[in-house]
Copies of this chain bind each other. A is one copy, B any other.
């Protein structure tokens, strides 16, 4: 039975629930009956390991009410990084395990996406090959929902809930004037269209919009898009189209790249527009209607004030499950959700080799997109709907959400 200290790190883009997974890991460590003596947090992911930039989380969360506050705090509490281990990482590995030894680290938990699972996979392989007694477990996290093996990723449900709720509000807003309008909403997700697909959830209470949905999984034909908008506008006065930031024209260029020109504005600066903005300009020029482009931007990944309770609970549980797996001797694994039933919704938390998950992107299946490529089909809704259920309660003070300070 491996006994020693543990380090936990967070990596990649923030989400509303990544700190719930951190809280789950901390709880698992505090409840390990001494198998984990002290749990440290590495600031800014693996970079914090390399710099020995640690926080003593056992001390900081001895007061359990701080854990509750951590759970409802958005974005990565420990800070994050986009560090990917170099191909020939031997020197880095040597350094990491020297640091682990120095601090008597026998457990390392890494909360993140594809790249983080690559780190988990390589570090654990190195540990095994070099007889280092460190169990290394990945805890999944990404709003993009693009990890293989797992049914879904913590963070996706809350981002999906934010997107669908906000779209319902926007749908109400754009209907107020008795004029034709087109609204084009841009959603995060470069290669996988899960979050863009979540826009369809806004339609579940007899709200007809969004009327058109374009995922990056399929090539985007601008002429077809113009025809789609024209057709929709005959049926609906206030058309709402949702596009992924990552949609590409058939020649493989991002739509937003079409807007890059070598021409400078009157302040002398190059202009580069977002995808929705480019498309809004095209539609406005063509039809003269009032056209609006909206980017949800950072808020879709950090809007802690409208988090899915299901997502939040699962994020915490999978963190704790990761600790249990490590305490039981597992290493080189990522924890994942296996859906055993959709109605009623049931999941199990299991582990799987991280190597099979690293560097793989899971995209929306073609059969969940309609044949025209401008909408989502019911199986996608059935899949997503359980993930946005429940509303989290957050603490407000003086009218604003309270977050835990680092």
A-side interface residues toward B, CB under 8 Å?
10, 14, 43-44, 47, 73-76, 79-82, 161, 164-166, 168-170, 172-178, 201-202, 204-207, 222, 258-261, 263-273, 277-278, 281-282, 285, 292, 294-295, 297-299, 301-306, 308, 385, 388-391, 396-403, 405
Contacts and interface: CB of A to CB of B under 8 A. Distances in A.
A44 B266 contact: no
Contacts of A388: 398-400
A172 B74 contact: yes
A302 B172 contact: yes
B267 A259 contact: yes
A118 B68 CA distance: 51
Nearest to A406: B175
Contacts of A269: 278, 281-282, 285
A282 B273 CA distance: 14
The 3 closest A-B pairs by CB, nearest first: A388-B399, A263-B263, A75-B172
Given A258-B265, A267-B222, A400 B201 contact: yes
Nearest to A262: B263
B267 A175 contact: no
A259 B270 contact: no
Contact of A303 (B169, B222, B261, B400): B169
A177 B305 contact: no
A265 B270 contact: no
B169 A205 contact: no
A207 B204 CA distance: 38
A268 B400 CA distance: 45
A390 B399 CA distance: 6
A56 to B, nearest CB: 20
Given A74-B172, A79-B176, A165 B267 contact: no
Given A204-B400, A259-B266, A298 B292 contact: yes
A290 to B, nearest CB: 11
A404 to B, nearest CB: 10
A124 to B, nearest CB: 25
Contacts of A168: 400-401, 403
A173 B390 contact: no
Nearest to A261: B265
B258 A266 contact: yes
Contacts of A271: 259, 261, 265, 271, 273, 281
Given A173-B298, A269-B282, A294-B297, A391 B396 contact: yes
Contacts of A265: 258-261, 271, 273, 278, 281
B177 A82 contact: yes
B174 A305 contact: no
Contacts of A80: 176-177
A200 to B, nearest CB: 12
A71 B277 CA distance: 33
A389 B282 CA distance: 42
B266 A401 contact: no
A267 B261 CA distance: 10
Nearest to A48: B178
